[in-house]
Amino acid sequence: MQNEVNISFLGDLCPINRVEKLILDKTYDGFSDLTQILAKQDLVIANLECPLTDTNRKIKKIGPNLKANTGSIDLIKHLNISIAALANNHILDFGQEGMSDTLSLLRENGVNYVGGGMNIKEAKKPLIIDKNGLKICFINVCEREFNIARENYAGANPNEIFNTIKAIEENKNLVDFVILIYHGGAEYYNLPTPNMQKCLRFYASIGVDLIIGHHSHIVSGYEIQYSTPIFYSLGNFIFDWKNKPDFWNESIIVNARLKKGSEISFEIIPLLQCKEEPGVRLLKGDLKINKIHQIKDLCSLIENESWINDEWKSFCKSQSKEIFAKIFSINKNHKRLMTRGIMPNVLLSDKKKLILFNQFFCDIDIYQKILRHNNIDFTVLNFNENFWKELNNIDFYIHRFIGTDQDIYMANSILPIIEFELKKPCYPDFKTYWSYEDKIKEYFLMSSNEFPMAKSFIFFDKNEALSWIDRKSVFPIIFKLKAGAGSTNVIKVKNKAQAGRLIRRLFGKGVSDQGIPGFSNLKFFNFQSLKKYFGIKILTYLGSYNKWPVWQIHKNYVIFQEFLPNNEYDTRVTTIGKRAFAFRRMNRKNDFRSSGSGIIDYNLDAVDMACVKIALQISRNMQFQTMAYDFLYDTEKKPVFCELSYTFNDRAIYNAEGYWDEELNFHKGNFWPQYFQIKDLLNIKDLKQPEIL
């Protein structure tokens, strides 16, 4: 029909195990219920949850490596699937070869695809379809795991918020409808995570007409925001896997009707897949009615943000044993015992668990608790179309951000406007955050003011860097990427050959900064560092902290720093206003680095007051609101700092026994850094600190 398009959206398609046998036998009777429905549709879209390939060269990752037989393309055509969504966490399971095979097979058989490609440019490209007089834009993104495309490497299109916004903005006025297919959330959880819900609602607010979610392997509900239907998960369309919970075998089809000049209408069709027998069947009678009622019950709850937050916290708590078992178990048997609570976690004490959870949970909540305790009105702003309007109603602005591309880009885009154009006091202000997560800026700023920073050697030309290394006779030296915290992206370079490899890498394809310890990033693997990295990934995945958005590719520069031997610890001095907190951080075992070790000595008598004086002087001269300095000793036993950052572990500050003022008088007590940040920003002398555990 002209000016009308009917689309069926399917869940996760992974034709393996018993379904693969049906494909090889070309027996499709188990799908006859579907063919009657899908054959009538103008477009049919499925999330292709695995590559279609015969290669056995799989990538290293957490979780199973999935692939399906290339003969699966016959089932795809039999089901009238015309578009394959590829942005998911399994599409790169068999590397570039698997991706190449999949794309070739889809193209040869006339199946469109979106969300994946042989490089990031291809993967990011939206799919524009002209059908029945309508132009429809499909954008497909996924949350980041081991699957993301890079400049010259195949993979999926990540949900980088600014790139996704750009794709929406560039296309919404050129087409009749924009449809976003989103792969994310928590597996086996039938609700959106709070962050996922906020993100998808925001996309709806800026022009997306329909949002379809996948990934959790369980049917979720939906809501309508800004006239946009948001389906959080369709469940498994075809995914045969034994010994899974009943919900694994349940799914829905969303049949959407797009009509020019009208809002999108839709219907839901419940399915049962690969239960007793391989195949997909429609639910009928009471089973269908009950399933639809279940979904509608979820829908009525999903709109309640407070309930979503509470449910998410309960889910994370329920998964805590599984989380720690995954991170810290020694082997599979140990993991099973830890998960069941039979064997204690011998690698992680209760105190360390508390510190770890506080690291992920407490930062923003503490600001809010302090403000509530002092009866100070505040609002939490979401970055949507109402942001600037709502900003007019506030007097002070706090924007706590971390070191991802996404956070830094957003902060650099809006903070200068708020501080300099709107004249609103901000934390952090420009002087405080300007050099954040950029060691080149740090060194240039500090050395130009002749502050005692460890000597660095920075090059923007490959030949100059190689020439310098060729002339250098003293090793080791320290290699760093310009971003990274907790000792990530820091390597002790032992000789000229290793330094040369690093230089050629940085001036070649570059190094991806994904929060992996530096030597792991560059193929120098170490078991303990990988355990820590994977532990962080599991925690972020299960929601203890926001998922890490994409990190930049570092290239076309190189940083070396002098190696300072015989330093068994660093002295961390954190200034907040005219106060200085200090403690020592001990090196990891058999490692030269202390940042992120978690081994902290709070003994005040062990703190070198020269470090405290230097930190207070720098912060005063540079007018930093807050800054953390990492001090070592040079060969003459004089303190020099090697890094600085406006962000730091607030729990470590609280655990210190107090702080020094500018006259070096000591004030005993436990103080949250957020307390002093608010006190200074709002200039409230009698601000009270609540009890926060």
Which tens digits make up the pLDDT trace of 439-485?
A: 999 999 999 999 999 999 999 999 999 999 999 989 999 999 988 76
- What is the model's pLDDT at position 197? 93
The residue assigned the tokens 């399917």 is: 10
- What is the model's pLDDT at position 315? 85
Residue range 455-562 in CATH 3.30.1490.20: yes
| Predicted confidence (pLDDT) per residue in 229-252, tens digit | 999 999 999 999 988 889 999 999
| Ranges of each domain in the chain | 4-311, 349-451+564-693, 455-562
Judge whether residue 544 has pLDDT over 70: no
- β-pairing, 4-14 vs 43-48, is parallel
Lowest mean per-residue pLDDT among 121-125, 325-329, 674-678:
325-329
* Mean pLDDT (the chain, rounded): 86
The residue assigned the tokens 């503490």 is: 366
| Cα–Cα distance list, 110 to 71, 77, 106, 461, 472 (Å) | 15, 9, 6, 46, 58
For 93, the token pair is 């399971």
Residue range 4-311 in CATH 3.60.21.10: yes
- What is the model's pLDDT at position 334? 54
Lowest mean per-residue pLDDT among 375-384, 417-426, 673-682:
375-384
Phi, psi of 531 (to 5 degrees): -60, -40
In the chain, what percentage of residues exceed pLDDT 90? 64
Helices 285-302, 305-318: axis angle to 10 degrees equals 110
Judge whether residue 347 has pLDDT over 80: no
Separation CA 629–CA 433 (nearest Å): 14
What residues does 117 pair with on adjacent strands? 155
Mean pLDDT of 262-286: 93
Judge whether residue 547 has pLDDT over 60: no
- What is the model's pLDDT at position 329? 52
Give the CA angle between residues 675, 681, 687 to the nearest 5°: 45
* Better-scored residue on pLDDT, 362 or 161: 161
Judge whether residue 174 has pLDDT over 90: yes
The residue assigned the tokens 């007793």 is: 276
Question: CA nearest 41: which of 256, 231, 213?
Answer: 256
Judge whether residue 620 has pLDDT over 90: yes
Fold of 349-451+564-693: D-amino Acid Aminotransferase; Chain A, domain 1 (3.30.470)
- What is the model's pLDDT at position 578? 96
Separation CA 159–CA 333 (nearest Å): 36
Judge whether residue 509 has pLDDT over 90: no
What band does 545 get if pLDDT is binned at 50, 70 and 90? very low
- What is the model's pLDDT at position 511? 80
Lowest mean per-residue pLDDT among 246-260, 369-383, 571-585:
369-383
Q: If you write DSSP's letter for every residue of 551-595 in order, what string do you get?
A: -PEE-S-EEEEE---S-SEEEEEEEETTEEEEEEEEPPTT-S--T
Give the CA angle between residues 509, 521, 55 to the nearest 5°: 75
Give the CA angle between residues 108, 113, 117 to the nearest 5°: 95
Sign, CA dihedral 517-523-527-531, equals: positive
Are 230 and 223 in contact by the 8 Å Cβ rule? The answer is yes
Judge whether residue 532 has pLDDT over 80: no
User: Roughly how many angstroms between the first and final C-alpha of the chain, as a whole number?
Assistant: 63
Judge whether residue 200 has pLDDT over 90: yes
* Better-scored residue on pLDDT, 100 or 305: 100
Phi, psi of 178 (to 5 degrees): -115, 125
| Cα–Cα distance list, 260 to 133, 209, 225, 256 (Å) | 9, 12, 20, 13
Q: Where are the alpha helices (DSSP H) in 222-284?
A: none
For 410, the token pair is 């957003």
